[in-house]
Amino acid sequence: MQFIAETVEILGGQGVFKRPVRSANDLDRMVSEGLPAETLTATISTVSFAAGQASPIAINDIVPISTWKRRVRAGHLSPDEGDKVVRLAHVVAVARHVLGQRDIVGRFFQTPHPELDGRKPADAALTEIGARQVEDILWRVFYGLPA
């Protein structure tokens, strides 16, 4: 997995993890142990269109609200939930690398895309296959390849 440092930053960084996360193995171990619950809110906040606007992704897109309340009390996500959050954070890291500015990244995630059958990248990135499709689109933009 590329962009470990960027992905960790999107997940909330050192302040959330309370220990160094330097490699994919470190991150995988933390997912297995249960990522801090704050990683979900940190990741969602990075997908907003611009500062102050709502994110196109909501907590209940990843975890049902009743479950989320239990996760906050427990302080950590389940491995499956953590995997989803890391997947989304990684796609956001790729988008930041390719597109640069936060408002452009936010606009990209909120705009329906023809290669995703008209779905928004924010919605597509919530599944493994969809996340890979979004990454493929971004890398084609980066390398100037035709759609």
23-39 pLDDT, tens per residue?
A: 999 999 999 999 999 99
Confidence at 147, pLDDT banded by 50, 70, 90: low
Give the pLDDT mean for 46-73.
79
Span 42-50, average pLDDT: 76
In this predicted structure, the answer to whether residue 44 has a pLDDT above a threshold of 70 is yes
The string of DSSP codes covering 57-126 is: S-HHHHS-HHHHHHHHHHTB--HHHHHHHHHHHHHHHHHHHHH-SHHHHHHHHHS--GGGTT--HHHHTT
76-84 mean pLDDT: 95
Domain count, the chain: 1
Which residue, among 15, 45, 47, 11, has the nearest Cα to 31 in the 3D structure?
11
The domain in which residue 16 lies consists of: 4-143
Looking at per-residue confidence, does 49 or 80 come out higher?
80
Q: What angle do CA 25, 33, 14 make, to 5 degrees?
A: 65
**Separation between Cα atoms, residue 4 and residue 33, nearest integer Å:** 18
Q: What is the pLDDT of residue 133?
A: 97
Q: Give me the pLDDT at residue 53, please.
A: 64
Average pLDDT (56-79) is 90
pLDDT of 12 over the 80 cut: yes
**pLDDT score recorded for residue 49:** 58
pLDDT value, residue 3 = 86
CA dihedral for 131, 132, 137, 140, sign (positive or negative): positive
Q: What is the pLDDT of residue 55?
A: 73
Task: Centre a 10 Å sphere on the Cβ of residue 135 and count the other Cβ atoms it contains.
Answer: 17
